[in-house]
């Protein structure tokens, strides 16, 4: 029995411009074939055991030709797989999706077309150019700019194009911009008609070059602009001076490497992306449950004796209450315990579970907790610390000096994820990283371990940002000079410090 194929438009580059249905197709696919213009972040939504096949077609360097791609899609589907074919923009706008669909139909393979946001509209929008505008342009026309330059005669009807008053949008036309400009002028377009060339629109690499039909080709050559790019011809181009928004964001053009755990990275990434930055997630830490439950089970078994429960992370909250749930313990047994959270994120996690937090220190570090509790803890009070296996001892020692009986329990462990060093080196060399963020000592320490002492020079021109002084000290001690340190030791504080 054959499987099913989804021909999906993945949008123009910004990974958030994919449709909900497109995202669903990625999540359920057994096999994903993707082009070179696909944002790699989209692949992180796929299943763990998905087969991914890169079928990108670059100028003069095709990994597969179109016929081969179509056959791969067909053969994978005939084996019973759910196949998602990810295409840049929309699959039916110069995407050759029709050819792939016809082959599937001829072989009685079920398929669906999932439209995408075409670069013809979205890229100008990110540059502040509406493709239609009242009293300026009442139509727009999308034209392929990717013709073989060796052809003696263009298949485009430049006589008809030259007579059009609406906006003309040429996709992937940089290589032929001289021919496009000359022919438009030859067949009636004004040499002074405004033109914009936008490269890698909707991404951190977005570059906009404006001119006129008579000088745009020379400007493109002068600035060395190459595909992927689109060409927009028309008076609407002038509106880009009045409506810029994307490239005005404070972190526009900045690439930020996020080293948090895979499950936690999204919060920091989203905040950076909202400000116009591009994030590359490379988790250097993984949080796993401590499978030796003896200590935590013993503590939960006598939970009523504790006067204070101190949580130093969101992870500690989650693992503690998950363990209580598995042991079928009634949370009402905590009625006599006071709760302390190291910071607002941890406090929010407790609040979301229905608990009122009694104490948050002014400084979100172990020393801040000790300072906050010095007049609250009484001699002999029992205190439970469910936290990471590598947590600093300063909190436990400080509480004991206050006279507390402290049970420090490793409720979860932190490890280095399985990554190859060459992957990190490639990111640092090829992706032109501007900023690397460290949200804990572990992320800094593990990053350095993965990078390796011999590759430290790759950090020379990169700004390093830390969530607070403890993390900064760890990084500095390793020889990684921290340039930015958050004043408030939270994700929001880190983003504010970067700004």
HEC profile of the chain: CCCEEEEEECECCCHHHCCHHHHHHHHHCCEEEECCCCCHHHHHHCCCCCEEEECCEECCEECCCHHHHHHHHHHHHHCCCEEEEEECECCCCCCCHHHHHHHHHHCCCEEEEECCCCHHHHHHHHCCCCCCECCCECCEEEEECCCCCCCCCCCCCHHHHHHCCCEEEEECCHHHHHHHHHHHHHCCCCCCCEEEEEECCCCCCCEEEEEECCCHHHHHHHHCCCCCEEEEECHHHHHHHCCCCHHHCCCCCCEEEECCCCCCHHHHHHHHHHCCCEEEECCCCEEEECCCCHHHHHHHHCHHHCCEEEECCHHHHHHHHHHHHHCCCCHHHHCCCEEEECCHHHHHHHHHCCCCCCECCCCCCHHHHHHHHCCCCCCCCEEEEEEECCCCCHHHHHHHHCCCEEEEEEEEEEECCCCCHHHHHHHHHHCCCCEEEECCHHHHHHHHHHHCHHHHHHHCCCEEEECCHHHHHHHHHCCCCCCEECCCCCHHHHHHHHC
- Look at the pTM and tell me if it is higher than 0.85: no
| Catalytic residue list contains 1 | no
Whole-number pLDDT of residue 56: 83
Q: Among the CATH numbers 3.50.50.60, 3.40.50.970, 3.40.50.10090, 3.30.70.270, which is that of 311-324+335-413?
A: 3.40.50.10090
Answer whether CATH 3.40.50.10090 is correct for domain 255-285+417-498.
yes
Q: How confident is the model at residue 58 (pLDDT cuts 50, 70, 90)?
A: low
Average per-residue pLDDT in the chain?
93
Catalytic residue among 4, 14, 30, 35: 35
| Catalytic residue list contains 35 | yes
> Boundaries of CATH 3.40.50.10090 in the chain?
255-285+417-498, 311-324+335-413
CATH of domain 121-243: 3.30.950.10
Catalytic residue among 4, 30, 172, 324: 172
Per-residue pLDDT tens digits for 150-205:
566 678 999 999 999 999 999 999 999 999 999 999 999 999 999 999 999 999 89
% of the chain exceeding 70 in pLDDT:
97
Catalytic residue among 21, 28, 57, 219: 57
Per-residue pLDDT tens digits for 320-365:
999 999 999 888 888 889 999 999 999 999 999 999 999 999 998 8
| Catalytic residue list contains 172 | yes
């Amino acid at each position: 029995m054959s499987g099913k194929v989804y021909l999906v438009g993945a949008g123009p580059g910004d990974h958030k411009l994919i449709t909900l249905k497109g995202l669903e197709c990625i999540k359920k696919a057994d096999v994903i074939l993707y082009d070179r213009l696909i944002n790699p972040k989209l692949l992180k939504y796929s299943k763990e055991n998905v087969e991914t096949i890169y079928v990108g077609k670059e100028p003069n360097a095709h990994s597969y030709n179109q016929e081969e791609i179509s056959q791969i899609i067909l053969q994978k589907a005939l084996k019973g797989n759910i196949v998602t074919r990810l295409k840049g923009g929309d699959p039916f706008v110069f995407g050759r999706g029709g050819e792939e669909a016809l082959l599937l139909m001829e072989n009685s393979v079920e398929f669906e077309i999932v439209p995408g946001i075409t670069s013809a509209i979205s890229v100008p929008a990110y540059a502040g150019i509406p493709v239609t505008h009242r009293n300026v342009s009442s139509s727009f026309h999308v034209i392929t700019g990717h013709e073989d330059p060796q052809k003696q005669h263009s298949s485009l009807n430049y006589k008809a194009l030259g007579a059009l008053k609406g906006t003309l949008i040429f996709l992937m036309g940089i290589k032929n911009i001289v021919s496009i400009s000359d022919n438009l002028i030859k067949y009636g377009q004004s040499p002074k008609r405004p033109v914009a060339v936008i490269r890698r629109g909707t991404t951190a690499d977005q570059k906009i070059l404006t001119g006129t039909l008579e000088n745009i080709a020379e400007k493109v050559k002068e600035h060395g602009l190459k595909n992927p790019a689109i060409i927009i011809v028309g008076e609407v181009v002038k509106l880009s001076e009045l409506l810029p928004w994307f490239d005005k964001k404070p972190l526009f053009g900045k690439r930020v490497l996020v080293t948090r755990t895979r499950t936690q990275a999204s919060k920091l990434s989203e905040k950076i992306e909202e400000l116009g930055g591009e994030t590359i997630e490379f988790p250097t830490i993984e949080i796993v449950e401590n499978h030796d439950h003896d200590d935590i089970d013993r503590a939960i078994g006598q939970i009523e004796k504790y006067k204070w429960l101190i949580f130093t992370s969101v992870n500690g909250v989650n693992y503690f209450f998950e363990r209580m749930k598995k042991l079928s313990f009634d949370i009402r047994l905590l009625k006599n315990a006071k709760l302390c959270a190291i910071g607002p994120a941890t406090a929010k996690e407790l609040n979301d579970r229905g608990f009122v937090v009694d104490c948050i220190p002014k400084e979100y570090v172990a020393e801040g907790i000790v300072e906050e509790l010095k007049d609250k803890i009484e001699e002999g009070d029992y205190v439970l610390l469910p936290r990471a296996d590598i947590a600093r001892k300063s909190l436990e020692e400080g509480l004991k000096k206050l006279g507390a009986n402290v049970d420090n329990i490793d409720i979860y462990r932190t490890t280095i994820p399985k990554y190859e060093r060459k992957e990190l080196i490639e990111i640092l060399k090829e992706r032109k990283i501007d900023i690397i963020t460290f949200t804990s000592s572990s992320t800094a320490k593990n990053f350095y371990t993965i990078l390796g002492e011999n590759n430290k020079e790759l950090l020379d021109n990169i700004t390093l940002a830390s969530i607070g002084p403890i993390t900064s000290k760890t990084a500095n001690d390793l020889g990684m000079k921290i340039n930015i340190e958050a004043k408030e030791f939270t994700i929001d504080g880190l983003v504010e410090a970067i700004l």
